[in-house]
C-alpha cells in the first residue's frame, strides 16, 4: 500500500501501519459503577498502547467511529472542532476534503456525527 502516496486518495494510512486496532468493550453488568469501571479500563488500555501506535496525530480509522474524539453538533460543526477527528482519520487530506465538501455540499445535507463539515466562510466567498 505504501507505493501509493497518502495524498492520492482520502485514505492516507499507507506506510508504516501494520495493523488497525478497534477498541471495543462489552459487559453484561448493569449500573453506573460497572459502566464507569469498564470505561475507565478502556481508557487505561488506550493510554497503555500509546507508545505503540502512530503519533502526530494518533491516527484513527474512519470506519471505527470513536465518539470520544468528539461529534458534530447537530451537523453544524466548525472546521476547528471537526479537525480533532478529521486529521486523525484523513491526515492532511482533511483540508482537501473540506474544500470538496464546501463545493459539493455547502448546505451540509449529507452529514453524520463524524462527517466532514463545509467551511462556511470559504463557501460564501466562492
Each residue's pLDDT tens digit, 10-33: 777 777 767 788 888 899 999 999
47 lies in some domain: no
3 lies in some domain: no
Q: What is the pLDDT of residue 112?
A: 81
Contact status, residue 12 vs residue 93, Cβ threshold 8 Å: yes
Q: Which of 92, 90, 13 is nearest to 53 (CA)?
A: 13
28 lies in some domain: no
CB neighbour list of residue 1: distance below 8 Å, 6 or more residues apart: 14, 15
DSSP H helices in 1-126: 32-48, 79-90, 93-104, 120-125
Average pLDDT, the chain: 83
Which range of residues forms the domain containing residue 67? 56-125
5 lies in some domain: no
115 lies in some domain: yes
The Cα-based distances of 52 to 46, 48, 59, 91, 120 in angstroms read 10, 9, 12, 18, 37
Q: How many domains are there within the chain?
A: 1
Contact status, residue 86 vs residue 101, Cβ threshold 8 Å: no
Which pLDDT tens digit goes with each residue over 89-113? 888 899 999 999 999 999 889 888 7
CB neighbour list of residue 92: distance below 8 Å, 6 or more residues apart: 6, 7, 12
25 lies in some domain: no
- Three cell numbers, residue 35: 459502566
43 lies in some domain: no
- Higher-pLDDT residue of 33 and 75 is 33
Q: Is 64 a catalytic residue?
A: yes
Q: Which of 64, 79, 89, 120 is catalytic?
A: 64
46 lies in some domain: no
Amino acid at each position: 500500500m505504501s507505493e501509493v502516496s497518502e495524498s492520492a486518495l482520502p485514505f492516507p494510512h499507507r506506510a508504516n501501519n501494520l495493523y488497525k486496532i478497534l477498541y471495543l468493550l462489552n459487559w453484561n453488568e448493569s449500573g453506573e459503577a460497572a459502566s464507569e469501571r469498564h470505561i475507565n479500563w478502556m481508557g487505561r488500555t488506550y493510554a497503555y498502547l500509546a507508545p505503540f501506535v502512530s503519533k502526530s496525530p494518533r491516527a484513527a480509522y474512519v470506519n471505527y467511529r470513536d465518539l470520544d474524539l468528539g461529534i458534530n453538533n447537530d451537523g453544524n460543526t466548525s472546521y476547528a472542532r471537526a479537525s480533532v477527528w478529521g486529521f486523525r482519520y484523513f491526515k492532511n487530506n482533511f483540508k482537501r476534503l473540506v474544500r470538496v465538501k464546501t463545493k459539493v455540499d455547502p448546505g451540509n445535507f449529507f452529514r453524520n456525527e463524524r462527517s466532514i463539515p463545509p467551511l462556511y466562510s470559504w463557501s460564501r466567498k466562492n
